Structure 1
């Protein structure tokens, strides 16, 4: 079964930019919807859906329902990857966004435990599962659509643009909760979910206007699509899937240990600090938009591995200081914690992932392989806040701090065992291809597969 090497992405620069920002718009909406649940779990759902429990158990149960959505993400990633590699990236983008939007609005309309009893948390879990499926399916299509439209030498930059939609959606979600915090009763958490309907309409309109990926169209025309991309990539590229899981665990777990668990931890210590912590998340998320794009651009110049390595090393070093700073209870250290953890460390990792993960697979199995690894790691990360609560009960703040350092060490292992896909040789070959030169006697026009997008089985 053949797979195409990566042909130069056709199309005008304007179309490439439009694709990147349209993908980012949808990713922003998806993250708003998915992350709004995490914020609500940390601040409200323990009381609204599990009121008969003591405060610690209520928080644990809220975080369990948060984790259920993450368990569904590998299934969504596998389904979305399969459909994206078989039928195209665009249909998956539109369908996933619509499904996520409907589920999110329904959360805002759910009755509470006080109104319908046990049916309330049951309905919450069902809708959270639907969210997980949609979110899992969306990422691969958005990133691969942008990556495959992008000019070869700037694929790190372009692929980072949809990734920048992640912190932007996070910022919007937390802004919504800040604005609704003073509303009476359940409206404090209902309104942010209902408000997502406006973002969904915008995202759908933008995505419906996109053209299909040129690489997918070329693969389809030349018979380079794979009959069963999911099984093929598991059979032929399972090592790369495991590498992506290791690389992704540090980014995803570290984020939820910060934006979800640490937010709850700070609020439990002093409820008056809730506004400060939320403000810190918002500012950090806005900073992360720029850091994500800059990180992607940097990988085009120095390669993917060096940027990711620095991000993992920073994460290892910051695990303990972040709790020392949070425990001061002072506004400036609390805000700085989020700025460093989300605005710098997390953003550097997300800005690098899209291009690096895409380049580990061939066109015919790219969405399936990258999505499966990416979302499997996310399913683990969904239970990180739950694990942090348990560890805090046994070890105090040293428990979640140690967990943060531990997942960062897993990321380091992933960096050390994953090959560079955009090293000096690949960058030189791409530059020569644009000028029609040669590399080691090989014409740049129509160079070998290793010059374009190396692939290891």
Structure 2
């Protein structure tokens, strides 16, 4: 196919017929995956130190609980590499279905795990093994979901469509925390078991909608042209390793910012005042619901002003918010907690996630896109998974300014990523797409960023 092909012109202007259904189904899946994965983070902050590590000193127990949280993150790059390789080799759709199924089974198993009081050291061992499986599934999920929405979308609205699956992230987070709020009054282990078991309903819904999806049109086009590569993982490492490093720098600020707020700060607030647990969880839920709208808005905005500008503003906000975040949290005021979570998650984190989908996809060719974006995305997540652990150590050594300074530093890392990464959607790219849609582009001309080349 060439730039003057009617099929290409139609897809550039309007996307595929199933573009909205695909974006919504991808978002439903990411919602379920994030519910399952984030539920562990909430349980680790509130319950797991007592349920699985009761023999330890309270600080050591918290560290051990957050360490098991980090194990899942260590497995995410493996899942990202595996899911990306399979997605680029055999299609995005089957990977999405398999990842959701594996994650669902692992999450429900956490809900029925015996505790340390029941089976001793076997309990944390089983917890770590299941957490590793969760990490594999979650790592495989993201690339396929975002690439499906991106590749089905009209080319001039790819920022918006790629942000829709990203909006499933905070929605899943909100649902997970609503589940923990609802179960908080239950006695004993049911306070944390029920949210894990309840994920079964979401999993069934997610599987139903994903099984009805059609494959990515760009994957099918790449396959028809004989441009699939035998080993997408090695190919993208050899050809695009610089872009993978750029994505790691960009992603670290977003992922660390989230876990330093939603996981560590939640623990910090409840350790200082156990009565503030309900206020903190309520603030986290409200912030997550706000983030759904801001994520989609950020994607829409990148289609108009470019990807780099929106991400740069998000990183600058993170740098500015690091110390005020803890000054507000230290007041213990419910309104201050609402503001902290609202800005940290509802605005800063959402602005970054809403930009990532399209920007990361546009850095790679279609035949290695899922692999390249997934590897960078999940390696950064594996590093960020240990952010709460490091924050505990920093606060132990320097007090709350240690955690606040850590937050500022990761914002600076994000700025370095923005400066090192090219803009993929600006006036030149828009003009190229307009020429393709109008039928005036040269038949042998180059395609805009992120299209099959």
TM superposition score normalised by structure 1: 0.95
Q: What's the CA shift for 1:351?
A: 0.2
Q: What's the CA shift for 1:11?
A: 7.8
What is the match of residue 204 of structure 2?
A: 201
What are the residue-to-residue correspondences of 1:329-368 with 2, within 5 Å? Answer: 329-368=332-371
Q: What's the CA shift for 1:8?
A: 3.7
Retained in 2: the 8 A contact 1:7–1:215?
Answer: no
What is the match of residue 249 of structure 2?
A: 246
Q: What's the CA shift for 1:164?
A: 0.1
- 5+ residue gaps in structure 1? 437-442
Within the candidate set 219, 224, 241, 1:221 is matched to 224
Q: What's the CA shift for 1:424?
A: 1.0
**1:113 and 2:116 are equivalent in the alignment:** yes
Retained in 1: the 8 A contact 2:183–2:191?
Answer: yes
Within the candidate set 416, 423, 443, 2:426 is matched to 423
**1:129 and 2:126 are equivalent in the alignment:** no
What is the match of residue 391 of structure 1?
A: 394
For the residues of structure 1 that align with 2:149 and 2:222, how far apart are their CA atoms?
16
What are the residue-to-residue correspondences of 1:267-416 with 2, within 5 Å? Answer: 267-416=270-419
What are the residue-to-residue correspondences of 1:89-108 with 2, within 5 Å? Answer: 89-108=92-111
For the residues of structure 1 that align with 2:237 and 2:263, how far apart are their CA atoms?
32
For the residues of structure 2 that align with 1:29 and 1:150, how far apart are their CA atoms?
22
Q: In angstroms, what is the RMSD of aligned CA positions? A: 1.7
For the residues of structure 2 that align with 1:149 and 1:12, how far apart are their CA atoms?
6
Partner of 2:185, secondary structure, is coil
What is the match of residue 441 of structure 2?
A: 444
For the residues of structure 2 that align with 1:213 and 1:454, how far apart are their CA atoms?
12
Q: What's the CA shift for 1:7?
A: 9.6
For the residues of structure 1 that align with 2:9 and 2:388, how far apart are their CA atoms?
40
For the residues of structure 2 that align with 1:432 and 1:298, how far apart are their CA atoms?
22
Runs of 4+ in structure 1 off by over 6 angstroms are: none
**1:54 and 2:57 are equivalent in the alignment:** yes
For the residues of structure 1 that align with 2:426 and 2:251, how far apart are their CA atoms?
21
Q: What's the CA shift for 1:12?
A: 6.7
Q: What's the CA shift for 1:431?
A: 2.2
Q: 1:232 to 1:325 in 2, by over 3 A?
A: same
What is the match of residue 3 of structure 2?
A: none
What is the match of residue 435 of structure 1?
A: 438
Retained in 2: the 8 A contact 1:82–1:368?
Answer: yes
Q: What's the CA shift for 1:454?
A: 8.0
**1:147 and 2:177 are equivalent in the alignment:** no
For the residues of structure 2 that align with 1:6 and 1:83, how far apart are their CA atoms?
29
Give the aligned length.
446
Retained in 1: the 8 A contact 2:149–2:162?
Answer: yes
Partner of 1:363, secondary structure, is coil
Partner of 2:229, secondary structure, is coil
For the residues of structure 1 that align with 2:337 and 2:408, how far apart are their CA atoms?
19
For the residues of structure 1 that align with 2:448 and 2:223, how far apart are their CA atoms?
22
Q: What's the CA shift for 1:453?
A: 3.7
**1:27 and 2:30 are equivalent in the alignment:** yes
What is the match of residue 440 of structure 1?
A: none
For the residues of structure 2 that align with 1:280 and 1:6, how far apart are their CA atoms?
46
Q: What's the CA shift for 1:434?
A: 2.0
For the residues of structure 2 that align with 1:41 and 1:313, how far apart are their CA atoms?
30
What does the per-residue CA deviation read over 1:14-33, in whole Å, with 9 as the maximum and x for residues that have no partner? 51000000000000000000
Retained in 2: the 8 A contact 1:105–1:194?
Answer: yes
What does the per-residue CA deviation read over 1:266-291, in whole Å, with 9 as the maximum and x for residues that have no partner? 00000000000000000000000000
Q: What's the CA shift for 1:427?
A: 1.2
For the residues of structure 1 that align with 2:75 and 2:168, how far apart are their CA atoms?
21
Within the candidate set 262, 268, 273, 1:259 is matched to 262
For the residues of structure 2 that align with 1:362 and 1:100, how far apart are their CA atoms?
28
Q: 1:452 to 1:118 in 2, by over 3 A?
A: closer
Within the candidate set 57, 68, 79, 1:65 is matched to 68
Partner of 2:18, secondary structure, is helix
For the residues of structure 2 that align with 1:270 and 1:306, how far apart are their CA atoms?
39
For the residues of structure 2 that align with 1:68 and 1:448, how far apart are their CA atoms?
47
Retained in 2: the 8 A contact 1:78–1:372?
Answer: yes
**1:178 and 2:175 are equivalent in the alignment:** no
Retained in 2: the 8 A contact 1:360–1:455?
Answer: no
